[in-house]
Amino acid sequence: MKLNKLGESELHVSEIGLGTMTWGEQNSERDAHLQLDFALAHGINFIDTAEMYPVPPSAHTYARTETYLGSWLARQKRDQLVIASKVAGPGRRDWVRGGRTELTRANIAEALNDSLARLKTDYLDLYQIHWPARNVPMFGVTRYDPSKETPAVPIVEQSGTMAWLIQAGKIRHYGLSNETTWGVCEFVRVARAHGLPPPLTVQNAYSLVNRMFDGELAEASFRERVPLLAYSPLAMGMLTGKFVAGAKPPRARLTQYADFGERYKREQVRAAADEYCRLAQSRGLSPAEMALAFVRTRWFVASSLVGATDLAQLKQNIDSVKVELDAATLEGIDAIHSRYPSPAA
């Protein structure tokens, strides 16, 4: 497994990282540990989680994923792993920390200390803001609506808190997630202006059916040296072939959870995914291999985060690193993208 240098840091992460959002909902603690052992044996050193996981989130399962990871992490050589987690942003779930979700210093510190206790570690390599504190279009919403503006913790306060946690030795770096071009640039600008560490990474959705990062965010990534950690590279399973022709596999998350992943259930997403699956098969590839190999070819991607509900899926995802897409396949991908430009954005 190839290791990529993470931005301007000393960290090197596997080109495929292990996502964890199914652990505690669709996967048991034993399942999680089997996945972790398998991933580690196959060269993965980067593991990403969040206090909000598992997903879909609920008060009953809140933070269970970190607990499952922590019981495994306690038995590992910590310095050989890169562990990332996230602090939940404001709103969305009142049961997160009793509703204390504004990104103040006190709330971020409380969230981090709780995560460290669950993860059974003294520090995180990367601590990410799960979504912005301010009003932004995200999770499938594409239009900014100024009428939804509300007071938010200033970016300088959030950055200062992260600097304080770095100085305390509790985190090595911090990152952003579900962030906009303006947000990435503003975090970097504020850091420079106030002598604070800048964000190391941005973790956004990126796949064949969501290539919004290709434009302004890619420019910001390049100029500010903030690489992408790509989540949902298989578009919640839409790019694996199991949903072709309107199929609804019973164990799939998009089937099990009616109100989850709405952006991936759009008609245009299904049409585009079907075309990508047909292209992959015509090139002698599985749809998942092609989808993951494509994300890996993007110059701004430091690591693709893959999740699985069983070891067979995880093996196929990891094996995709052996696939190199030829010019004809890339041309076919571009042709489909021209007809269906980022339908899951």
How many CB atoms sit inside 10 A of residue 276's CB?
Answer: 26
Distance, CA of 126 to CA of 144 (rounded, Å): 29
Residue found under tokens 């430091």 = 302
Check: CB of residue 124 under 8 Å from CB of residue 169: no
Residue 12, burial from CB neighbour count under 10 angstroms (0-12, 13-18, 19+) = middle
| CA-based nearest residue to 87, from 124, 137, 135 | 124
Nearest to 212 by CA among 238, 178, 262: 178
C-alpha Rg value of the chain to the nearest Å = 19
Tell me, yes or no, if 340 is annotated catalytic.
Answer: no
Residue 146, preceding bond cis, omega within 30 degrees? no
β-partners of residue 4 are 13
Pick the catalytic residue from 53, 174, 206, 276: 53
Q: Alpha-carbon distance 245 to 275, whole Å?
A: 10
Catalytic residues: 53
